[in-house]
Amino acid sequence: MHHSRKTWSPIEVVGLVIVIVALVALLFAPHSLSQLFDLTINEVYNVVVPIFLTGTVGIAIIVSVILGRILERLGFTDALIRLFVPIMKWMRINPTVIIPSVYNILGDINAAGKIAAPVLDKAHATKAEQKIAVATMIQSPQSFATFVLGLFALSAAGISLFPVIVLSIFVPLIIVPFLLSRTIYRDTKKVDLHELPRFTPKTKPLETLFQSAKEGTELLLLVIIPAVAAVFFIIGILKFIGVWEFINSILTVTLTYLSIEPSSGIISILAAPTLAVAQLAEIANSIPPGLVVGSFVLANSGLPLSVIFGQMPATWKECSSLKEKDVIEAALVGLVIRFATAWFLGFVVTPFLVV
């Protein structure tokens, strides 16, 4: 359809405003644009390069994909399906909604989406069930390293480990799908085992190994790093215009109210939960046990926000029938549930768990 250029379109007005602002900035504050550019570069660089390119997180993503594909080839997915079919059949939910969460615990949240999203599609999971899978996956630690380091923090605070692990990691695998299927995402259906296909591929061992390594590298370089760069570019702009300090102060007050240690909580939300629990372990014996438990629960989730708003939508869009906005919506629902879990375990349950 031909559009007349005689009238201004809304986006042209936006563009004109940007041009005027840029010209005014060059006239009265010529160094401001270069400062903005430097700030955003440093913000992206400090996360992408040391954490993903030269740090262990990037390698962990590749290794997690390799591990996940090897487990899949050895029948891990089919075994899980058999274990969860009776429970999910009773709840009238496709049992494959649990698969992303389990792969998430064993490896990495991005690898879990890459491997498990096609499983749901192959099992003919409804759109609502795929959203349940995303929301449930947010309840699991996004890397095994985060889980292990978190245990050190719990031990340092003198907290009984087993109840916290069961209540924060494994119970949500059952409770969250049940709650969501009865409230927000009701389009679910009971599936018998004989209705599901087999999910174990028939690839050769060496082919599985090398193809999974290639797949993990592509996931890191072509999906995750661009998504992370986009999110931290926005954070850099917020810092430049002076809004970030206000947001940071609001986060500190909110996290304390939710029984989460503020500094580690902010790191979990914005940067790297693995780094957050490593720092939490150093101060765990000097802060209230409830804050340690709440921080542990929050860190062992689908955070940081760059994962929820960048990496997960990009990964699931490629591997499932969900759109990016569907993935973000379901992830945010899961995140709200995770914050509620952190408050409940940190404020209500912790007094009964201190050794």
Return the domain boundaries, the chain: 53-352
Q: Report how far residue 277's alpha carbon sits from residue 225's, in angstroms, rounded to the nearest whole number.
A: 22
- Which segments of the chain does DSSP mark as H helices, in order? 10-28, 32-47, 56-73, 76-91, 99-106, 109-122, 127-137, 144-156, 161-165, 171-182, 205-218, 225-240, 244-257, 262-270, 273-283, 289-299, 305-306, 312-319, 324-343
Phi-psi region of 192 (alpha: psi -120 to 50; beta: other; left: phi over 0): beta
Q: How confident is the model at residue 347 (pLDDT cuts 50, 70, 90)?
A: very high
In the beta sheet, which residues pair with residue 159? Answer: 354
Chain segment 42-79, per-residue pLDDT in tens: 988 987 888 778 877 778 778 777 877 788 788 877 78
pLDDT average, residue stretch 133-137: 91
Report yes or no: 239 and 230 within 8 Å, Cβ to Cβ.
no
Highest average pLDDT, of 106-110, 193-197, 206-210, comes from 206-210
How would DSSP label each residue in 102-167? HHHHHSBHHHHHHHHHHHHHHTT--HHHHHHHHHHHTTS-SBHHHHHHHHHHHHHTTB-HHHHHII
Q: Tokens representing 249?
A: 């102060």
For residue 271, give the nearest of 241, 235, 296 by alpha carbon: 235
Looking at residue 332, its pLDDT comes to 95
Minimum mean pLDDT among 24-33, 244-253, 279-288, 296-305: which range? Answer: 24-33
Collect all residues with Cβ–Cβ distance below 8 Å to 329 and sequence separation of at least 6. 131
Looking at residue 1, its pLDDT comes to 54
Q: How many CA atoms lie within 13 A of 11 on its CB side?
A: 1
Q: How confident is the model at residue 116 (pLDDT cuts 50, 70, 90)?
A: confident
Q: Does residue 16 surpass a pLDDT of 60?
A: yes
Minimum mean pLDDT among 212-216, 219-223, 312-316: which range? Answer: 219-223
Residues of the chain above pLDDT 70, percent: 92
Looking at residue 12, its pLDDT comes to 83
- What is the identity of the amino acid at 59? I
Report yes or no: 300 and 147 within 8 Å, Cβ to Cβ.
yes
Looking at residue 195, its pLDDT comes to 66
- Is the omega angle on the peptide bond into residue 304 within 30 degrees of 0, that is, cis? yes
Question: What's the chain's average pLDDT?
Answer: 83
SS3 354: strand
Q: Report how far residue 275's alpha carbon sits from residue 146's, in angstroms, rounded to the nearest whole number.
A: 8
Q: Report how far residue 304's alpha carbon sits from residue 307's, in angstroms, rounded to the nearest whole number.
A: 6
Q: How confident is the model at residue 326 (pLDDT cuts 50, 70, 90)?
A: very high
Chain segment 102-113, per-residue pLDDT in tens: 777 665 666 667
Looking at residue 107, its pLDDT comes to 58
Report yes or no: 266 and 248 within 8 Å, Cβ to Cβ.
yes
